[in-house]
Structure 1
């Protein structure tokens, strides 16, 4: 079986999912190839055959030559009708992983439904309540498949034998854009540094995508200066995927945590990755994360835009090492048992069988 995955750019959680899915399905004899419209930092992580093009005639020649059994398209609704006009008669699965705020997600799905429903064979999405609600509402005549994404916890796991950290580290992963709510993260850090001036702050992102506008860049730099964080924050750009377990493990070993401040997450790969590496997670109530972050069991959850609550949960983690160790262990075990490539591959194979691929 040979399947093509199409997305805009190889970066972020979608690129991670594409690779993890490919690895999981290889064991079932499924070959995945990727097509992205433009280059991105995630290319450094990809071993699969990958095409970079946004030219319709090139895409058509690839599809005709390779004779894919199915094509999975993430988010892009325009390519769906084009594929059918190109003569592709195989199965098309439309994938949704995250669409911004609740309002943005509903508006998007309402907009694309009449444009794509007659051309697709199924919709695939993670176990995210708001996505389920809107997809059920607008795609009444389409087969729908909903299950967790996967992570290979044997390859992406806690790293033993790292040197001891001198300072506790607060980590953050994401793009500098509104939905990731970096403003909230900076405010929490500033408050915690008033309480403990020896804390370190690490921010991970993709500089090729982070500052989506000059205005966002100015906002970020201005808030960093206003809060006096210029000499505290260390920024990491485009860290290779296989190196991230080292950073997550170092954060966990330091006594610190990964802080996620997103307004809405369809899934949240960075959170799952941190949990797999025994790095405690404190996250906003961003919907998708609630299917695997359970308060004071596998992580900590606090209300949206509540700086006081975020600071309180962080201090609680710092002040209670027994709770912190319980969360670290529980989180790792939960990810290993519920997000395994084997479970994911079986879900995918069942979907393929039902769709007669």
Structure 2
């Protein structure tokens, strides 16, 4: 089988990380996965070593890619332009639409024109996202929930001797690390992170925050301005670029410090950093909203706080870092949860079964 994934943005975020993992697994099962992107936002290094990647906005070139490669199925991820491309070339194979955007207004724009292609199936990563999508499409349209997957051989708790301690970020002495990982934009809500850091700084001095990523984020400059003007550069360290291959070492340092990861997001359809963190034995502190409770189990794999609640977030962090005996238990439970529900074999086999059924059905028509 040969499939094409179409998404407009080649980022280092969770969607591409998930598809990178799937492409590697699919290859072992005889499925070739190729990718078509319109714009690279720093994610090429993540994808180019695992699959063929097309990067173009030229309509004629895109038409030729679709026509010449004879794909058995095409998956469109939040890219409304793709519906016109597929209609123009009269692609007659099965088309699956992945609806990933959690904000309903943006998701509506991403689905504009989807009726042109009559998708065989809509795919979402959580039950929460299924509820959001159901508001926007025909009530009889089939929707399947398939969780994002993770390579738990790559993302795992590293032994002491494996950790690359001399690479940035360098672990501080006698401090717990609380790491924010991801984009710097309105939805990821870095402003709340700075408020939490400012509040904690007034109460104790044994916590260091790391901000990981954001080199090409839309609010990078705004973040940098606020970070400096609020005098937080000593308590909040910023690392705009950490290569994907280094992430298990990053999580290992957080775990070694007895720290955690923190999310301040306003909404998520899934959240890959949650399962990366948990797979590496690092507990998660996150807001109790949207899809988050489906992934992070309160009191078991981390702690959830009330949305926008600075004091509540701080208390969740303290509950983790001040109880070493409980920390180890949560760390192990987090790892086990990812193995059971979000591992590469579990989720990829669900996707393969689905693809096989849809392609077989298409060939028999």
239 and 139 in structure 1: CA distance in 2 versus 1, 3 angstrom threshold = farther
How far apart in 2 are the matches of 1:21 and 1:238? 24
Contact 2:100 2:269 in 1 (8 A): yes
Between stretches 286-295 and 222-231, larger displacement belongs to 222-231
2:30 is matched with which residue?
29
Contact 1:41 1:206 in 2 (8 A): no
CA drift at 1:315: 1.4
Q: Secondary structure at the match of 1:224?
A: helix
1:23-80 CA-to-partner distances (Å, cap 9, x unmatched) read 2222221110111112232111222111110111001111111111111111011211
1:38 is matched with which residue?
39
1:5 is matched with which residue?
5
1:194 is matched with which residue?
202
Contact 1:188 1:311 in 2 (8 A): yes
Q: Secondary structure at the match of 2:301?
A: coil
CA drift at 1:205: 1.3
1:122 is matched with which residue?
121
Q: CA RMSD in A?
A: 1.9
CA drift at 1:128: 3.6
8 and 238 in structure 1: CA distance in 2 versus 1, 3 angstrom threshold = farther
1:278-324 CA-to-partner distances (Å, cap 9, x unmatched) read 11110112321211211110111001100010111111212211221
Contact 2:255 2:282 in 1 (8 A): yes
CA drift at 1:109: 4.6
Gap regions ≥5 residues in structure 1 = none
108 and 98 in structure 1: CA distance in 2 versus 1, 3 angstrom threshold = closer
251 and 2 in structure 1: CA distance in 2 versus 1, 3 angstrom threshold = same
Gap regions ≥5 residues in structure 2 = 166-170, 361-365
Q: 1:279 aligns with which of 268, 277, 282?
A: 282
Contact 2:99 2:107 in 1 (8 A): no
Contact 1:157 1:245 in 2 (8 A): yes
114 and 57 in structure 1: CA distance in 2 versus 1, 3 angstrom threshold = closer
How far apart in 2 are the matches of 1:111 and 1:194? 43
How far apart in 2 are the matches of 1:56 and 1:191? 51
CA drift at 1:204: 0.9
Residue 136, structure 1, aligned to residue 134, structure 2: yes
112 and 16 in structure 1: CA distance in 2 versus 1, 3 angstrom threshold = closer
Residue 170, structure 1, aligned to residue 178, structure 2: yes
Q: 2:353 aligns with which of 345, 350, 355?
A: 350
TM-score, normalization: structure 1? 0.91
How far apart in 2 are the matches of 1:112 and 1:279? 34
Count matched residues.
Answer: 346
